[in-house]
Structure 1
Amino acid sequence: MRFAISYQPAHHGADPARLVAYARHAEECGFEGLYLPEHVVLHPGMSLGTFTLPPATPFLDPLDALAFVAAATSRLLLGTAVLLLPYHHPVTLAKRLATVDVLSNGRLRLLTVGVGALPGEARAVGVDFASRGRRADEAIDVLRLLWSGGADGVSHDGEFFPFDDLCSFPQPVGGPLPVHVGGSSAAAARRAGARGDGWFPGGALTPDERARQLDVARAAATAAGRDPAALEYTRWASMDLRVASVEAYAEQGVTRLVVSATADDPAAQRAEMSAFASRFGLG
């Protein structure tokens, strides 16, 4: 089992010194990687289910913030949970992602994308909310195409992002980046199996729903001619996680758990990380 940690601006703030201290301590503790979320914009009254998002929540741009973290760390893998893929043009996004990966010496390995759940956010960036799944599917294909293309250029004839003879350099270290798919819907599970390198569902699913959707992801991988056993399975977990619980996660096929410090005080957050690392022998 691998263990990563997330930094949530809604809880931890956007202070640069605090972000760096959090990331450096996570690295010192032995966590595999650091995840950041994305919201492009908020507006008063925005909610996710029963949870209302305060409109002044300081959501950092995750890629800019991860580049900042990369400059302050040396080993920590970099990730998003989730990057709202339909709200980015994949041609410019391919360049941004490759740049972070190259400048971090190949550490952008936990890229997780989702389609977004807030219609107002889609409207704000001029995206038809109903089309966001198709846009995400095509964007994943475009990213991989650009990251594997040569100096003679590549072309794409798609519904949303057609182009001819494009070259996108630099390319990620070692070839196209792994792309994990986040989301708790059956459509997300199918996308993960058909196109993703991993599946990272949200927290609002029952155990039976999770099991059914993992089956959906693996079936989609098989139908696409891909190896379902190669699909990584990442889950959220709590900071007070116990060893027995990890064994139960492993039995469900989980390969990575992501936690987040819950204390408000930075020193207390670091203490939480240290205790977790000690409990599981990280480092």
Structure 2
Amino acid sequence: MKFGISYSTPYYGVDPQKIVAFAQLAEECGFESIYLPEHIVLYPGAKVGTFEIPPALPYLDPLDCLSFIAATERILLGTGVLLLPYHHPVILAKRLATVDVLSGGRMRLLTVGLGALPGEAEAIGVDFATRGRRADEAIDVLRLLWAGGEEGVSHSGEFFTFTDLVSFPKPHQATHLPIHVGGSSRPAARRAGRLGNGYFPGGRPDPAQWDLVRATAAESGRDPDTLEYTRTATIDLSPERLADLTAEGVTRVVVSTSATSLDQQRKELTDFSHRFGL
């Protein structure tokens, strides 16, 4: 099992020294990866389900933040989740490759989602109803640009069209970056099976979702056994709960802590590390 840790700037703060210290602490404690969330804009009354999001929460740009903490030596960098339909893939391909190059090949846990706030899509000029198709095409464009050579690549789709584009630098010693798909819906599970390198539903999804991912991958001519399965948990995760997740096919657990002080975070991350022998 691999273990990641999430860092939520809305709750832990945006102090740059604290962000770096947290990332270094996670690395020292043996965590494989660190994840950051994304909201591009918020507004009064924005809700996810029945939860109303306080509009002044300070969400840092996850890629800029990950680039900043890439001064760590080993920990992999992830997003949970990047709102893919709200990014132009030509620009995003460059940004992701840049972070990967600067980190020595550690921008390897990109997790993308569709976004749940119609007002956020409207502010960016994206049709909320088409964001799923837009995300699918964006994944194709990212991979096309990363794999393309000096002769350039072309694409003509529903949302993006270009001719003979050349995008350098490439990801560090790779022709593409893994793309994990987030979301607990059946369409998200099918997207992960068709297009993803992994699935990260978050929360406590129906175990049948992973079966749907694997079945869709097989139907698409892909090997389901090559896909990673990531789930969330709290820092007090028990060995018994970990055994249950392992039995469900989970390959990575991303934990979070409610502690906001670095001293308390150090204690909780250290205890976790000792509990599971990281």
TM-score computed with the length of structure 2 as normaliser:
0.98
- How many correspondences in the alignment? 277
User: Whole-Å Cα distance in 2 between the matches of residues 235 and 204 of structure 1?
Assistant: 8
Show the counterpart of 2:83.
Answer: 84
Q: CA deviation at 1:263?
A: 1.1
Q: What is the DSSP-based 3-state SS (H/G/I as helix, E as strand, rest coil) of the residue aligned with 2:35?
A: strand
Alignment of 1:78-227 (within 5 A): 78-173=77-172, 174-203=174-203, 205=205, 210-227=206-223
Show the counterpart of 1:70.
Answer: 70
Show the counterpart of 1:6.
Answer: 6
Q: CA deviation at 1:247?
A: 1.0
Per-residue Cα deviation, 1:242-267 (whole angstroms, up to 9, x for no partner)? 11211111000000000012112221
Q: CA deviation at 1:204?
A: 5.1
User: Whole-Å Cα distance in 2 between the matches of residues 149 and 267 of structure 1?
Assistant: 47
User: Whole-Å Cα distance in 1 between the matches of residues 200 and 127 of structure 2?
Assistant: 24
User: Whole-Å Cα distance in 2 between the matches of residues 264 and 104 of structure 1?
Assistant: 26
Match for residue 250 of structure 1 among 246, 251, 258: 246
Show the counterpart of 2:55.
Answer: 55
Moved over 3 A (4+): none
Match for residue 234 of structure 1 among 230, 236, 239: 230
Q: CA deviation at 1:211?
A: 2.0
Code of the residue aligned with 1:155 in structure 2: it is S
Per-residue Cα deviation, 1:167-188 (whole angstroms, up to 9, x for no partner)? 1000102220000000011000
Q: What is the DSSP-based 3-state SS (H/G/I as helix, E as strand, rest coil) of the residue aligned with 1:237?
A: strand
Q: CA deviation at 1:202?
A: 2.3
Code of the residue aligned with 2:108 in structure 1: it is R
User: Whole-Å Cα distance in 2 between the matches of residues 57 and 231 of structure 1?
Assistant: 33
User: Whole-Å Cα distance in 1 between the matches of residues 102 and 50 of structure 2?
Assistant: 39
Per-residue Cα deviation, 1:36-95 (whole angstroms, up to 9, x for no partner)? 000000011111112221111000000000000102x01010000000000000000000
Higher mean C-alpha deviation, range 188-197 or range 10-19: 10-19
Match for residue 260 of structure 1 among 256, 263, 277: 256
Code of the residue aligned with 1:231 in structure 2: it is L
Per-residue Cα deviation, 1:3-56 (whole angstroms, up to 9, x for no partner)? 000001121111111101100000000000100000000011111112221111
Show the counterpart of 1:25.
Answer: 25
Alignment root-mean-square deviation, CA: 0.8
Q: What is the DSSP-based 3-state SS (H/G/I as helix, E as strand, rest coil) of the residue aligned with 2:164?
A: strand
